[in-house]
């Protein structure tokens, strides 16, 4: 059995610790959690190997505690390498109806241009802070209204691609698919009165769509490796 059938795994990575949490489907609090201290950086090969060995060891421990394999997870990262970028998208049309297709086309065009110009950054979160439709301001997407002029005020939260590559390499070595990376600094704004010592509760809120103004990127997943790799690890 794999975790996708029973619930979701979240990892929280700070400069001192890694947290692993398992949430059952439809439950708001984690069922199982553990954490371990790590060296303060992934930037050198020695630290990478130490962190990798610690991560593998604790993933096996979590799998044995739960009785099934961990094959994917969402990663909440605390980092000083995040960049916030603000810009506006403006366009004028012949009178038309505002729907998801119009919005998607506007966003895709701008995101592609951004990705070409800022090829050292990966977009982690896309937030539409404001919709201005024919000079009227909306906080949330006013779908199916007729309009001519549209302005979108966009906020991008980005992370250095070198950091992303190191995180992906780390989890690839553990045979774990990374579903989504979440900025902990962004996610913790949605905690309200909840306490989140693990960095995972806030990340789960973001993944579950707590911010109606966030646009979620879809990516195609590579074909998964066989589960035999995990079985060897499990009984090692």
Enter the CATH code of domain 82-159: 3.30.1490.110
% of the chain beyond a pLDDT of 90? 63
User: Do the two domains 3-79+160-234 and 82-159 of this chain adopt the same fold?
Assistant: no
Is domain 3-79+160-234 classified as CATH 3.30.420.40? Answer: yes
pLDDT of 2? 55
Least trusted range by pLDDT, from 23-32, 98-107, 116-125, 153-162: 23-32
| pLDDT score at 231 | 40
For residue 235, what pLDDT band results from cuts at 50, 70 and 90? very low
- The pLDDT value given to residue 180: 95
**Mean pLDDT value of segment 155-183:** 95
pTM of the full structure: 0.85
Task: Tell me which residue of 80, 206, 84 sits closest to 154, measured CA to CA.
Answer: 84
Region 18-44: what's the mean pLDDT? 87
* pLDDT tens digits for range 59-105: 999 999 999 999 999 999 999 899 999 999 999 999 889 998 898 88
Q: What is the DSSP string of the chain?
A: -BGGGTEEEEEEE-SSEEEEEEEETT-SS-SEEEEEE--S-SSSHHHHHHHHHHHHHHHHHHHHHHTSB--EEEEEE--S-EEEEEEEEEEEEEEEE--HHHHHHHHHHHHHHHHHHTTTEEEEEEEEEEEEETTEEESS--TT-EEEEEEEEEEEEEEEHHHHHHHHHHHHHTT-EEEEEEEHHHHGGG-TT---SSSHHHHHHHHTT--TTEEPPP-PPPPPPPTHHHHHHHT-
Domain ranges of the chain: 3-79+160-234, 82-159
């Amino acid at each position: 059995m794999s975790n996708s059938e029973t619930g979701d795994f979240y990892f929280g990575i700070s400069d001192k610790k890694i947290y692993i949490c398992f949430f059952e489907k439809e439950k708001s609090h984690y069922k199982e959690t553990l954490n371990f201290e790590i060296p303060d950086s992934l930037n050198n090969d020695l630290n990478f190997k130490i962190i990798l060995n610690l991560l593998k060891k604790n993933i096996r421990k979590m799998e044995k505690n739960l009785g099934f394999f961990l094959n994917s997870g969402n990663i909440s990262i605390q980092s000083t390498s995040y960049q916030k970028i603000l810009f506006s998208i403006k366009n004028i049309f012949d009178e038309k109806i505002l729907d998801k297709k119009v919005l998607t086309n506007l966003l895709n065009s701008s995101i592609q241009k951004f990705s070409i110009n800022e090829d050292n950054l990966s977009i982690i979160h896309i937030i539409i802070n404001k919709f201005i439709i024919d000079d009227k301001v909306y906080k949330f997407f006013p779908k199916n209204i007729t309009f001519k002029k549209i302005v979108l005020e966009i906020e991008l939260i980005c992370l250095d691609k070198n950091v992303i590559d190191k995180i992906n390499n780390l989890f690839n070595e553990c045979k774990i698919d990374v579903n989504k990376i979440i900025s902990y600094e962004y996610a913790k704004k949605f905690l309200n009165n909840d306490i989140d010592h693990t960095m995972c509760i806030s990340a789960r809120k973001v993944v579950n769509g707590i911010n109606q103004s966030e646009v979620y990127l879809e990516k195609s997943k590579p074909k998964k490796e066989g589960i035999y790799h995990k079985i060897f690890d499990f009984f090692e």
